Amino acid sequence: MTRAIEEAGIPTVQVMMYREMAEKARPPRVAHVRFPFGRPLGEPGNADQQRVIIEDALRVLETATEPGTVVSLPYLWRREDYALIRRHRATRER
């Protein structure tokens, strides 16, 4: 689906949990997360976590220059303080 969207001139990025699948399928851009299957953006109800993943995926969309780029995000399931990450980002953006 992403290839068809890209052919229409709209850039895409996918958030995927399995790097091996991303490397085989070669979608245009991938933000790879090491999260459980079915939870590419994180835990239900964890808005800070979901926001961080979406922001990082959009950064991949902005910076990936080669087709098939896979960027592994550094987060581990339930081991990060996403509210703290967002606060740090907010202070850097000022």
The predicted pLDDT at position 67 comes to 82
The predicted pLDDT at position 73 comes to 98
The predicted pLDDT at position 20 comes to 94
In one-letter notation, the amino acid at residue 69 is: T
User: Residue ranges per domain, the chain?
Assistant: 2-93
pLDDT in tens, 37-85: 999 999 999 999 999 999 999 999 999 988 889 999 999 999 999 999 9
Q: Is 74 helix (H, G, I), strand (E, B) or coil?
A: strand
CB 29 within 8 A of CB 60: yes
The predicted pLDDT at position 94 comes to 73
For residues 29-43, average pLDDT? 96
Report if pTM > 0.75: yes
